[in-house]
Structure 1
Amino acid sequence: MSGKDRQKQLAREHYERQNQRRIEREARAKRNAIIGTSVTAVVIIGGVIAATTLLGGNDSPATATPATSAPSASPSETSTAAKPTAFDPAGGTCGYVADADGSPAKNVGLPPAKVDTKPKTMTLKTSQGDIVIAVSADKTPCTVNSFAFLAQKKFFNGSKCHRLGSDQFPVLQCGDPLAKADGKSQTDGQGGPGYRFVNENLKGAKYTRGVVAMANSGPDTNGSQFFIVYGNAPLSPDYTPFGTVTKGMEIIDKVNKGGVITPGPDGTGAPKETVEIKDVTMSSKS
């Protein structure tokens, strides 16, 4: 191969690498921040609407549009990325893995593999008051263990719930530590803890008033984002339901009545009534 041919080959390889990175960035940029990054079709008043996605979203509330497909990993990511593993009853452990997709993160390390499945109560101390959640450590051990770890690390402190749903999509989404929740940010819904873990407790899952569930960007991509249902959300059983609000639903109702700053095409957006999480605690159920 001549020197000129070699230069052409190197230029072509460089272009291909740049093009692949661009494709991956655009794929990530299509993920929408509320109700996963799979597209869920729901039937509302005889009509069919596309449910926007929960977690991993790059669209701001002001410009969000329904996703048309889930983001795809590059071939190298698909073949080599470590996969999270489900709870192992024999060893009492869960397998958490580092997030390899390059999403913005507030890295705090990985949760301990060993989990505690005793009943627990999680309390969100917010700027609007306390929200108390009975969490199902027996049914969702990996999820609850992750929240206990993040609470201990003060991961959620100062974070804002960045997306409020609509009458058709009655949820409040929180857990992005980097969200601005100002109705302008282009990155709300992207942030996470820098690791992922498996879906749990999906069989027969229903998203009725008071249910608290994980947001995700596809199967087994849970991080730190979650949503609280204040109505009956018509979702497919793809989002780990890990708890139920026992105190503080009036806070969510108040936020809902306040509406959103700049509604997107789906009616969702950053809430006018700011919900800032001051602290999260996990305690044994009394």
Structure 2
Amino acid sequence: MVSSQHEAMHRIFKEDSSFVARALRLLGLPFGDPTSTADLPTDLTETRPLERRVDSLLKMETATGTFLVAIEAQGKKDPDKPGTWAYYLAHLYAKYRLHPLLLVVCKDRSTASWASRPMHIGPPGRPTLTVHPLVLGPDEVPVVHDPAEAAKDIRMAVLSAMVHSRDQDVDVILKALSAAVKGLEVSDPEAAMTYVELTAQGLGEKTRAVEIWRKLVAVDTSFFTSPLSEEIRDEGRTEGRASDVLRLLDRRGIALGEADRERVTSCKDLDTLTRWFDRAITASSAAEVFLDGGPSGG
């Protein structure tokens, strides 16, 4: 199953027609800004039952020619990828008669180093086909730690946060990005919301970086109205109400078993917690609080 983190790492290149060109210039390629960019279907499946799907595929027209850019988010080394990528490139060239570039985005140096090596297919010493991806990893994507710099190119700052999400000083990158996105909220709130969500996805679930980002977004409750900020504020409300329920029962001398205490702290439904709080005001036992069923007792 494809993760939201994986999706974010290649989705960041869409919607801004010049961002791929800016990213490729990080690799030293004299890639001019495109005059147009088309988002092509990513399904490379043949008529026989064999499904091949590239992560993102763009057709870019530039002053020096028209190219295809196949973008892959790669989280770890995969010995099957040379064959898969070779198939993508050969199929794309045969289908569109345009020269394809393979751009691989990695979050760690080990995977980036592996992906950047030429991958030979064919007899030793005489390969029939060589796949040589272009790779954007921690060594290629700059660390954007200045809010002013982040504001100049927020999409690049988002990519920087994703690629450097495992760095010790990722909090500096995220603070700069947060300031830049907050500055965008007034002029383009929809874009600000997109960057907030895309960053959260790209940082991965249950990581130190995403927790830092969530806290930055939640600092000012008037900041964003994105699903992420609403989720954070909902979590804060439920955690506070759960604490109220436990404190009230403790003050009233009503003992809770471990199962009931866990039930309260793990509940994410504010209405349920409010109902338990109201019952806890007059209840004489834990069983009266949890009339909905489930654990009870002292």
Normalized against structure 2, the TM-score is what? Answer: 0.22
Q: Which has the higher helix share?
A: 2
Q: Which has the higher strand share?
A: 1
Highest CA radius of gyration, 1 or 2?
A: 2
Normalized against structure 1, the TM-score is what? Answer: 0.22
Of structures 1 and 2, the one with the larger relative CO (CA 8 A, separation 6+) is 1
